[in-house]
Amino acid sequence: MLNLEEAIKNMGDVSVEPNGWNIWAKYVLKSLEEQADFSKKLDKQIEDNKDDYVNAINELKVEFTEQFGHIKKEIGIIKTKTSMRSALIGAVASVLPSIGILIYFLIRYAS
């Protein structure tokens, strides 16, 4: 950033006698020019890197979609296994009393 002493040195040929206002005006104008240049540089950097940012975001979207799909498959597998185990437990739970009753009748009426 330009300081006040540099602004005084950079005034060059001024047709009027330099006073506080002339120096300050020169300083403010120089500062505004520097800020405009800086702003243009930033705009150019943003524009130059815009494609990189878009590509990075797209890569993240693809990665997220793949991971989400993988998690979705795992949840489906877990649901299937749980259903199969529940069916097996239900079958065993319904067969055991039947076997018990069958043994009871065999013992009672077989002798």
SS (H, E, C) 58-91: HHHHHHHHHHHHHHHHHHHHHHHHHHHHHHHHHH
Burial class (CB in 10 A: 0-12, 13-18, 19+), 22: middle
- How many C-beta neighbours within 10 Å does residue 32 have? 10
In tens, the pLDDT along 57-102 reads: 999 999 999 989 999 999 999 999 999 999 999 998 889 888 989 8
In angstroms, the CA 17 to CA 62 distance is 67
The total number of residues written for the chain in this structure? 111
* Residue pair 26/11 in contact by the 8 Å Cβ criterion: yes
pLDDT band with cut points at 50, 70 and 90 for residue 39: very high
Say yes or no to pLDDT of 40 above 90. Answer: yes
**Residue 2 scores a pLDDT above 60:** no
Place of tokens 């989400």: 68
Identify the sign of the CA torsion 24, 26, 29, 32: negative
Residue 35 above 50 pLDDT? Answer: yes
Q: What is the pLDDT, as a whole number, of residue 76?
A: 92
Average predicted confidence (pLDDT) for the chain: 84
Other C-beta atoms lying within 10 Å of the C-beta of residue 11: 15
Domain residue ranges of the chain, discontinuous segments joined by +: 4-110
What is the model's pLDDT at position 46?
A: 87
Is the pLDDT higher at 110 or at 38? 38
Please give the pLDDT value at position 21.
81
Predicted local confidence at residue 85, as pLDDT: 93
